[in-house]
Structure 1
Amino acid sequence: MIIQPKFHGEMEIAEEKIYRFESGIPGFLEEKQFCLLTLDDTPFFVLQSLETKEVAFIVTNPFEVYRDYEVKLTDEVLSSLQIETELEVLTFVILTIQDPFNDTTANLQAPIIINSSKKMGKQFIMNGSEYRTKHRLIGPLEEQGGE
């Protein structure tokens, strides 16, 4: 499939790289097919809609940034994504990119969960958790070991 993504030039996407979001993503319920594209030499990806070029989310693996982050999937999520083993699960969080980049935030309350073997995904809203929709991606300088 040839696509014209928001942040890349025209490219071909193999069928096995397409993920189906049966319920869409909150706010984008009509967007059902997405692919994950790498962003050069960064830990970030683009979750790109295949239906609408302008619908693209910058995402990252939260476990690489937030060491204590936990996601407890409900039976409903496990069932709807047909998850049988932890090895099938890919987890991403949507970033809100800011200028300056140090103000960028991650939505830890609603991670994107993908079953990599079944090519299915959904945004899982963790109601009642301590996580919020805007966690700083990069902490203040003193938290990063600076002065």
Structure 2
Amino acid sequence: MRLKTKNFGEIEINEEKIITFEDGIPGFENYKKYLLITDKEDKESPFCWLQSVEDGDLAFALINPYSFCPDYSPNIEEKQIKKLGEIKEGSYIIYSIVVIPEDIKSMTANLKAPIIINIETKKAMQVICENEEYKIKHSVYDELKKVSVKEAGE
């Protein structure tokens, strides 16, 4: 299956890699099927894209929240994610939707409502965590710089 996208041109889709959001993503409930697109050359990049399979113009920039917030621990009720299938160690990944404006220093990530993907069932959802300390617009740029400096010093 081929898909013409706004950001990546025409891409080949392996249907086995399609991730399903049964309820859609809040604000985009009509779009249920997505594909994770990563930079194959930069394996260390914390960024990837969540590309809609149903609308080539719709894609979300995602970031691995642990890349800039190593202690990230969203408090999510198990019943919220029960419909994703059995949740066990290593069966899921967590991303945050990131907004990257022209001034990259103003980049923010939504730590309050992470994207949870069960990699075994290929089901996903965006959930709201109960942690008060996580914001919808968490500054990312300075945090990434701190982590990079820390890693360079090790």
**TM-score normalised by length of structure 2:** 0.85
What is the aligned residue count?
Answer: 145
After superposition, the CA RMSD in angstroms is 2.1
Equivalent position of 2:36 in the other structure: 36
Q: 1:109 touches 1:133 (CA, 8 Å); kept in 2?
A: yes
Greater than 4 Å deviation, 4+ residue runs: 142-145
Residues 6 and 48, structure 1, Cα contact 8 Å, conserved in 2:
no
1:139 to 137, 142, 148: 142
1:119 maps to which residue?
122
Residue aligning to 2:113: 110
> Greater CA deviation, 21-30 or 31-40?
31-40
Q: Gaps spanning 5+ residues in structure 2: where?
A: 150-154
TM-score, normalised to structure 1, is: 0.89
What's the secondary structure of 1:71's corresponding residue?
Answer: coil
Paired amino acid for 2:98: L
CA contact (8 A) 2:7 2:57 kept: no
Q: Give the C-alpha shift of residue 51 in structure 1.
A: 0.8
- Unmatched segments (≥5 aa) in structure 1: none
